[in-house]
Structure 1
């Protein structure tokens, strides 16, 4: 055991030329020896792990193991899907990589284990519907000036996508929760927990237009001055059912899947951020998830989307 630790630590501290696919292959072989000699796994299990690790080594190539992120590993899972592997095979590959990272942690090669956050096949099947960026653009432009309350509707849809807030959170937003100058809003989530969520320029512009052109008229219809930001035709706070119906109606107008809901904008918000390279824990904070395990469902973005981001932003793509 002492010899293996020394060898792995030497590989971990080696220069870039040593930290290559060959070094990764050596680490994987040490891992298989560990499973065989100390975990006493069956020969067939060791063989299956060996096949999975060879596939992983080929994918890693010249990347450095300590530098791989959850986005990188999600891309690896995407390549498994592109190879049309059976769901059971993909799940086994994920288990192999997770176990390998635990081994690397024990040996001091890596400190963090991003593989813990890779979704299982069962989770993929529960993957919420996500709109493409083009669909989002079409959807957000669906309210027209001929619609009676189009200023309010545009602002609501923009806020849903810009913040990733839940439908109930958007309905409960108050005017005083906005900070236009600081470009954020205060949101009260589940359990009364408050969080600050950034607002983009388009969302701010649509809110300002709604406040200037429409909200005052709607508020005047209420017997008591309403605190909520988004109001119905009667001057009361808009509720989740009304918001749900508006989302459905505008989605239908532009030919988007009828299964879309306000929550689809939340799913799209998270997935698009992660596809663009956002940090998982920052997305967790913006979504108001108590556990990062809840946020991890969004980490399995389409590999083609990752390629597109790479092609668009990498200087040598």
Structure 2
């Protein structure tokens, strides 16, 4: 059992305080930044430094941007994380620094690139549909993108949360808030195909997407599913669950959905949080102008 990530942060802060003699204010700033990293990692089931990788850092930076953090502040968070990783390298806890490939957040780019629609089709169709696990993975990816779910919302779904007749999910979001989200015909078909096969091969469980043992699938397990499937689909770059949610919102706005509707579907309490997704491509804006303006 290796050292825990939160304990590593404490050791790093002690190093800054004692050996580098940084001011209490500076050490506290490092602590706040790294507490967010630890919290995000724990949400994904990562508690040890050696399990932190580039995909987790990309997801963390994405979540910071999603919360409205500016590029300069996000860059400071990344700098704090890099300081921690370099410290752990020197201490022999790590053998490589996972932050070396992480791109520095730039002004004007609030979110990492989303997946193109053709990439999402490849991702969702990549699992082997001749196996129960492949059917489950395809259904999870399909539902996650179709409904724009957070990882915790996806793995927390039960059979009772699905209205098969209307094709709607009852999702429990942050703070226990419930919302209804349509999932579309394709995701519903993928879900029904998986459940039909599951009824034949696996003991019945209330969990919608159980592990092979029948319990609730962990967040980290879904992260691994996404990364493994993206590699199989030949999709380059970092692909993580947040990217499916970002793609959901971006594609809706690009297709003409209004901001308020996207806010409700995502479960944002403040529309300002949703406005981060108005980074729709300039081509789309130009096409909308050409279609709608009398002199376009």
TM-score, scaled to structure 2:
0.59
Aligned-residue offset at 1:205:
0.6
3-state SS of paired residue (1:124): coil
Q: Which residue of 2 aligns with 1:247?
A: 226
Structure 2 match to 1:261? 240
1:140-289 equivalences under 5 Å are 140-147=124-131, 149-215=133-199, 217-218=201-202, 220=203, 226-289=205-268
Separation in structure 2 between the aligned mates of residue 245 and residue 167 of structure 1, nearest angstrom: 12
Residue 232 of structure 1 and its aligned partner are, at CA, apart by 1.0
Displacement after TM superposition at 1:175 (Å) = 0.2
2:272 aligned with 1:297, yes or no?
Answer: no
Instruction: Judge conservation of contact 1:252–1:258 (CA < 8 Å) in 2.
Output: no
Task: Deviation per CA, 1:131-183: give whole Å up to 9, x if none.
Answer: 11111111111112355511111110100110001011000000000001112
> Structure 1 176/148 Cα, relative in aligned 2: closer, same or farther at 3 Å?
closer
Determine if contact 2:129/2:138 at 8 Å carries over to the other structure: no
Conservation of the 8 A alpha-carbon contact between 1:177 and 1:185? yes
Q: Is the 8 A contact 1:185 1:196 kept in 2?
A: yes
| C-alpha distance in 1 between matches for 2:120 and 2:126 | 10
* Contact 1:289/1:295 (<8 A) preserved: yes
- Equivalent-residue separation in structure 2 for 1:313 and 1:255 (angstroms): 38
Distance 1:287 1:302, change over 3 A: same
**Whose Rg is larger?**
1
- The CA RMSD measured in Å over matched residues stands at 2.7
8 Å Cα contact 1:247/1:261 also seen in 2:
yes
Alpha-carbon distance between aligned partners in 1 of 2:199 and 2:287, rounded to the nearest angstrom:
40
Are the equivalent residues in 1 in contact too, given 2:114–2:244 (CA < 8 A)?
A: yes
2:132–2:197 CA contact under 8 A, matched in 1:
no
Distance 1:216 1:292, change over 3 A: farther
Q: Which residue of 1 aligns with 2:121?
A: 137
Distance 2:125 2:290 in 1: 27
Which of the residues 101, 105, 125 maps onto 2:109?
A: 125
- Specify the SS of the correspondent of 1:125: coil
- Alpha-carbon distance between aligned partners in 1 of 2:171 and 2:241, rounded to the nearest angstrom: 16
In the alignment, what sits opposite 2:68?
none
Please report the TM-score for the alignment, with normalisation by the length of structure 1. Answer: 0.56
1:194-239 Cα shifts (integer Å, max 9, x gaps)? 0000110001111111111125533x2xxxx632100111111111
* Structure 2: 5+ residue stretches without partners: 1-104
